């Protein structure tokens, strides 16, 4: 089970959270990673934790002021990137371009989508994984696996019908170990979460609770 912690732009200490993720990762068979803000990728990667970017743009080197270049994320220590998170939406052509940019930089990719139909379209672009995240559940503490389990099962089926090699992750409202287990029972191979760890008083304890049932 892959557990990817997105720090968004929360006012947390990215290095402290990264160290917590790294330490818990050493105690579990689950795969743990953290996605900090772009400016913090290098500092987070230096802790030894698996580090992801939150976004890359569909660009190459050149005149692209203010954009996120995949090679820069990789040079800073990222090994993967989220694409098309519901808080950083892209059009389909731009998603495709971002996946290609990430591939060029040897970054693993997770393309986010809101529903099973979008999951199928995203899987057709050939990312490493897709993540279904109904935006209305993000940050609520109510996991999609509980609020609408059919969404997860249908997303898994939609991706498999397009490309069985594309893994499916589950996001939105994930905050406990039971949520992670439920996501796995529905066919997901990993979870995305944010506030459950990034806003926790004790991120390490929150992570230990997440992986304990695995």
Rounded to an integer, what distance in angstroms lies between the CA atom of residue 25 and that of residue 201? 19
Catalytic residue among 85, 136, 153, 189: 85
Please confirm, yes or no, whether 50 is among the known catalytic residues.
no
The whole-angstrom distance between residue 41's C-alpha and the CA centroid of its chain comes to 15
161 marked among binding-site residues: no
The mean predicted confidence, pLDDT, of the chain is 93
How many CB atoms sit inside 10 A of residue 170's CB? 30
Measured CA distances, 98 to 56, 75, 102, 125 (Å): 6, 17, 6, 10
Which domains are assigned to the chain?
Answer: 2-211 (3.20.20.70)
pLDDT, residue 77, reads 98
68 is in an annotated binding site: no
What is the predicted pLDDT for the residue at 133? 85
Q: Report whether pLDDT(208) > 90.
A: yes
The pLDDT value given to residue 151: 87
Q: How far is the C-alpha of 112 from the C-alpha of 185, rounded, in Å?
A: 20
202, 187, 151, 172: which is closest to 4 by C-alpha?
172
Cβ proximity of 193 and 5 under 8 Å: yes
3-state secondary structure of 84: coil
**Which listed residue (26, 133, 157, 204) is catalytic?**
133
133 is catalytic: yes
- pLDDT number for residue 84: 97
Q: Is the per-residue pLDDT at 6 higher than 70?
A: yes
pLDDT digits (tens, 9 = 90+) for 126-182: 999 999 987 666 665 666 667 678 888 999 999 999 999 999 999 877 888 888 998
- 32 annotated to a ligand binding site: no
Residue 141: its pLDDT value, please? Answer: 63
Kindly report the CA angle at 98 between 114 and 87, in degrees rounded to 5? Answer: 40
91 among the known binding-site residues?
no
Give 12-29 pLDDT, tens digit per residue: 999 999 999 999 999 999
CA angle 55/94/194 to nearest 5° reads 25
Residues 39-78 pLDDT 10s: 999 999 999 999 999 999 999 999 999 999 999 999 999 9
pLDDT score of 102 more than 70 = yes
* pLDDT score of 143: 65
Residue 84 marked as a ligand binder: no
Query: Structure tokens of 178?
Result: 């039971």
3-state class percentages of the chain: helix first, strand second, coil last, to nearest 5: 45, 15, 40
């Amino acid at each position: 089970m892959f557990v990817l912690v997105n720090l968004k732009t929360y006012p947390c200490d990215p290095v402290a959270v990264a160290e917590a993720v790294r330490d818990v990762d050493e105690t579990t068979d689950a795969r743990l990673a953290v996605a900090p803000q772009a400016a913090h990728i290098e500092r987070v990667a230096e802790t030894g934790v698996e580090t992801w970017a939150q976004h890359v743009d569909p660009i190459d080197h050149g005149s692209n002021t203010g954009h996120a270049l995949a090679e820069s994320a990789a040079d800073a220590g990222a090994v993967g990137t989220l694409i098309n998170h519901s808080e950083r939406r892209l059009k389909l052509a731009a998603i495709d371009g971002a996946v290609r940019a990430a591939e060029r930089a040897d970054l693993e990719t997770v393309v986010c989508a809101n529903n099973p139909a979008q999951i199928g379209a995203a899987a057709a672009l050939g990312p490493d994984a897709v993540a279904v995240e109904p935006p209305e559940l993000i940050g609520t503490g109510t996991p999609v696996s509980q609020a609408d389990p059919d969404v997860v099962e249908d997303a898994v089926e939609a991706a498999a019908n397009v490309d069985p090699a594309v893994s499916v992750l589950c996001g939105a409202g994930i905050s406990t170990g039971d949520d992670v287990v439920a996501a796995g029972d529905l066919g997901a191979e990993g979870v995305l979460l944010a506030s459950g760890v990034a806003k926790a008083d004790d991120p390490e304890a929150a992570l230990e609770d997440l992986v304990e049932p695995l």
